[in-house]
Amino acid sequence: MARLRLALPLAGTLAAVLSALALGLSAMLRDLPPWMPLNATSHVLHGPAAATVTDANLGHTALGAIIHVGSAFFWAAVAILLLRAAGGARAGAAWAAGLGTALLAGVVDYGVIPARLSPGWELVLPPWGVVAGLAALGIGIALGLDMVRRRHPQAPIHPARPVQEPAAEHEPPTALDRLRRPAPAELDQRQQRIDPAGELTEDPNWRGDDNSKQPGGSRRDGG
């Protein structure tokens, strides 16, 4: 459970930071402000014109950063699900999940969803810049998952299913136990040995007549 609580915030944060750095460096290599890719992400609300804004402001840069961070956490959650499905026990499973999620993000963002919902990086960056941003996203996710795995090597990345212990085998009763708690069949056998005829043995000292003499008692007088 501890790994589950740490994996998402750590992987999501590293993915958001590293991908933003990669996008900013790619923009600077084109002599553009490093925040322009984030401005372009706000095209979801402002349209393609957001990619032409060179100033850093709340309406474009802050909005784009919020969308960017939310997207990074979403894909980090997807990577955790992939890692859970794969078992997550091997050392390279975190990197496979992180880089695989980055590839999936590229396919979904630029091949499945409408262009208006894409990150918008392609509006200000060449294809290699978009690839750099996606690769940094995957590396950040993988680093976060691997760091959690190293800190908590014994705990699973997801809550483990409870393991049912096998039922304890009952030991056969000993001779003393059979004497203390005899089975019904043994009780019948004992009764047959005591009363072979199958009739209850009558107490010879007991009579229904009140005038009969009982052991240790005296004869009752009628008058």
The candidate with the shortest Cα–Cα distance to 59, out of 78, 77, 85, 41, is 41
**Cα(120)–Cα(23) distance, rounded to whole angstroms?**
11
pLDDT digits (tens, 9 = 90+) for 29-71: 999 999 999 999 999 999 999 999 999 999 999 999 999 999 9
pLDDT digits (tens, 9 = 90+) for 73-127: 999 999 999 988 877 667 689 999 999 999 999 999 999 999 999 999 999 999 9
**Where is pLDDT greater, at 180 or 6?**
6
Considering Cα of 108, then 111, then 113, then 117, what sign does the dihedral take? Answer: positive
Among 18-27, 72-81, 100-109, 214-223, the least confident range? 214-223
Residue 64 phi, psi (nearest 5): -65, -35
pLDDT digits (tens, 9 = 90+) for 123-159: 999 999 999 999 999 999 999 999 998 887 655 555 4
pLDDT value of residue 84:
87
Residue 203 has pLDDT above 60, yes or no: no
Residue 10 has pLDDT above 70, yes or no: yes
Q: The whole model's pTM is what?
A: 0.68
Residue 185 has pLDDT above 70, yes or no: no
